[in-house]
Structure 1
Amino acid sequence: MDDGSRDSTWNIICDLHQSNPSLFGGVKLAHNRGHQNALLAGLTTAYKSGCDAAISMDADLQDDVDVVDQFIAKYVEGYEVVYGVRSSRETDTWFKRNTALAFYSVFKWMGAETVPNHADYRLMGKNALKALLEYKEVNLFLRGIVPSIGFKSTKVEYVRGKRKAGVSKYPLKKMISFAIDGITSFSTKPLSFVTFAGFASILVSLCVFVYVIVSVLQGKAVAGWGSVMFSMWFIGGLIMLSIGIVGEYIGKIYMESKHRPRYEIETLI
């Protein structure tokens, strides 16, 4: 898969195809559509080619290709989906390791199903692929969609190595965006949080009101600017946060309503 790259990736794919057309093929997207859409394009192409199963993995060579044999063995045993799961995250930084743990914990708390320490390295049989193609949403989060499909599944643990070449195309900002997309695509609990925050704000306001009344009756001085400014910023922050959460969902509805294609294939070899 070439997700609209600007380097020599497609030339390398073409050279491999020319060296052995029966073994190597490639799909070039007309424009960069993001990791999830590119992955779906590859799986869709594999399914339409009549494959029995397809294995997806990133091109940075961090995933252990030697466990492919174990994937296939599990598929032969009758498993329709086989997840590659990292046995440890020692190669990650402390920050990335703990933020990943927090993400999976929040995702589970939100009621969405996912496979911890799994990063799109998986085998999917043709039945699972067929079911996947029935999901038409634009906001793709395959790590949540695939487990929700069902079918008999299992895990294969492996040790993820260091990146062989190049630099990661997933900076912190992109990872945060990916996490938000995943959560808002599979759970409406953040909207419930807005309601909860509203009730909590009312409760805090009532407590402050009671405190002010009692202070006046006892002849004590009522705090001035400090309490007023705190209340303003606190309520203002909650309002902005609530608008932002609702806006995330409205934005997703807006994008889904357009029914735009998720990707365009420029060349298929």
Structure 2
Amino acid sequence: MRDIPVLYIVIPCYNEANTLPVTAPLFLNKIQELIERNLVQDSSRILFVDDGSKDDTWQIISTLAKNNKYFAGIAQSRNRGHQNAVLAGLMESKDKCDITISIDCDGQDDLNAMNEMVKKYLEGFDVVYGVRNDRSSDTFFKRFTAEAFYKLLRVMGVEVVFNHADYRLLSARVAEELGNFKEVNIYLRGMIPLIGFSSTEVYYERHERMAGKSHYPLTKMLELALNGITSLSIKPIRIISSIGLGVSALSFLMIIWTFVRYFQHQTVPGWASTLDIICLMGGLQLICLGVLGEYIGKIYMETKDRPRYIISKRTDNMEENNELDK
């Protein structure tokens, strides 16, 4: 059995001025409950990560941190996206705690699952995934596309946990190893399983958003899906290579057939067949160029080696760490 850990709850926030007053007390109640049950130490904290919000999110975080020792906050210099915000929180807290639990700000994920997560850590697990036991609260479209996305990732060779988002517990040594992954194009749901270490799952019900509105529209979901596939798998390139070989073989057979028909004097001049072949080949080439271009773009961004996040502000209880760029 492990010693009682110090926990940091990492919560990314983007324009959550309407949500924080509702959910912050719930997070506070949960961490106090965990302390009272002797599951985590009193030095545990709730770390909000302001992802370049344009509303009063940072002011609310600062006020929470001034009024209660369990709250802390950091702010990114600009909006960098959900995955970078989670990473920033994990990297900024990994030297201050034994475990982190990342969770969204909206209150949809069941906070009671944290109790079981910490117990699993005490049993010896280094990674505990929060997994939805059903998606009945989602619309049919979202449920269908989400399940199709997970299946597509697995087909593409990406190791992911089905119905798991970013609600998870990581031990400090897992967070330390995550820091050694230097890629700029981040997809944590696929990166965490690559680290290894002992892992398990905790199942929970996901509720409706408590306040505010979602900042993850369909366009951002598609962008995340594309980033997840191209950042962690080269299978699309192999697929288009296979398609290219197949089309080349088919074209070669068509050429032989055309010559045979020509010498049999059975060919009829026409534009339809020519046009069909041009359209088919042109479409395939554009698709293949698009996939290759996506990977080349990823390589371009990686070679720049830009910082994945930049912290511009910290609450007083986070000021001892003065390293700005990661």
TM-score of the superposed pair, with normalisation by structure 2: 0.79
Q: 2:75 corresponds to which residue?
A: 28
- 2:124 counterpart of 1:52: no
CA distance in 1, matches of 2:79, 2:125: 33
Partner deviation per Cα, 1:115-156 (whole Å, 9 max, x = no partner): 110010001111111111111110111001101101111000
Give the corresponding residue for 2:255. 209
Aligned to 2:291: 245
Paired position in structure 2 for 1:116: 162
Q: Point out where structure 2 has 5 or more consecutive residues left out of the alignment.
A: 1-48, 316-326
- Does the Cα contact within 8 Å between 1:28 and 1:268 map onto a contact in 2? yes
Question: What is the CA-CA distance between 1:27 and the residue it aligns to?
Answer: 0.8
The alpha-carbon deviation at position 55 of structure 1 amounts to: 0.5
Mapped partners of 2:117, 2:260: distance in 1: 69
Structure richer in helix, relative to its length: 1
User: Cα deviation per residue 1:44-63 (whole Å; 9 max; x = unaligned)?
Assistant: 11113x20101100111111
Structure 2 residue 198 is the aligned partner of structure 1 residue 152: yes
- Read off the aligned partner of 2:154 and give its amino acid letter: K
- Give the counterpart letter for 2:81 in structure 1: G
Query: Structure 2 CA distance, aligned partners of 1:33 and 1:268?
Result: 17
The alignment partner of 2:159 has SS state of: coil
Q: Secondary structure at the match of 1:65?
A: coil
Aligned counterpart in structure 2 of residue 226 of structure 1, from 272, 275, 278? 272
Superposition pairs for residues 85-104 of structure 1, below 5 Å? 85-104=131-150
CA distance in 2, matches of 1:225, 1:254: 42
Instruction: Supply the distance in 1 between the matched residues of 2:266 and 2:256 (Cα, whole angstroms).
Output: 14
Name whichever of 189-198 and 72-81 sits farther off: 189-198
Return the letter of the residue paired with 2:62: C
1:209–1:5 distance in 2 versus 1, CA, 3 Å: same
Three-state SS of the structure 1 residue aligned to 2:112 is helix
- For 1:190 and 1:251, the matched residues in 2 are separated by 15
Partner of 1:156, secondary structure, is: strand
Q: 1:159, CA displacement in angstroms?
A: 0.5
Give the alignment partner of residue 262 of structure 1, picking from 290, 308, 314. Answer: 308
Aligned partner (choices 58, 70, 75) of residue 10 of structure 1: 58
| Alpha-carbon separation, structure 2, partners of 1:223 and 1:66 | 73
Match of 1:175 in 2: 221
Matched, 1:41 2:88: yes
Unpaired segments ≥5 residues, structure 1: none
Shift of 1:23: 0.4
Distance (whole Å) between structure 1 residues aligned to residue 268 and residue 209 of structure 2: 61
Distance 1:211 1:232 in 2: 17
**Equivalent pair of 1:82/1:156 in contact (CA under 8 Å):** yes
Using the alignment, how far apart are the partners of 1:218 and 1:60 within structure 2?
72
Cα RMSD, aligned residues only: 1.4
Q: Separation in 1 of the partners of 2:106 and 2:90?
A: 18
**Cα offsets for 1:12-58 (capped at 9, x unmatched):** 111111111x200001111001111110001111113x201011001
**1:207 to 1:122, Cα distance in 2 relative to 1, 3 A:** same
SS in 1 for 2:203: strand
User: Structure 1 length as normaliser, TM-score?
Assistant: 0.95
Q: Which amino acid aligns with 1:47?
A: K
Aligned residues: 267
One-letter identity of the residue aligned with 2:286: M
Matched residue SS, 2:246? helix
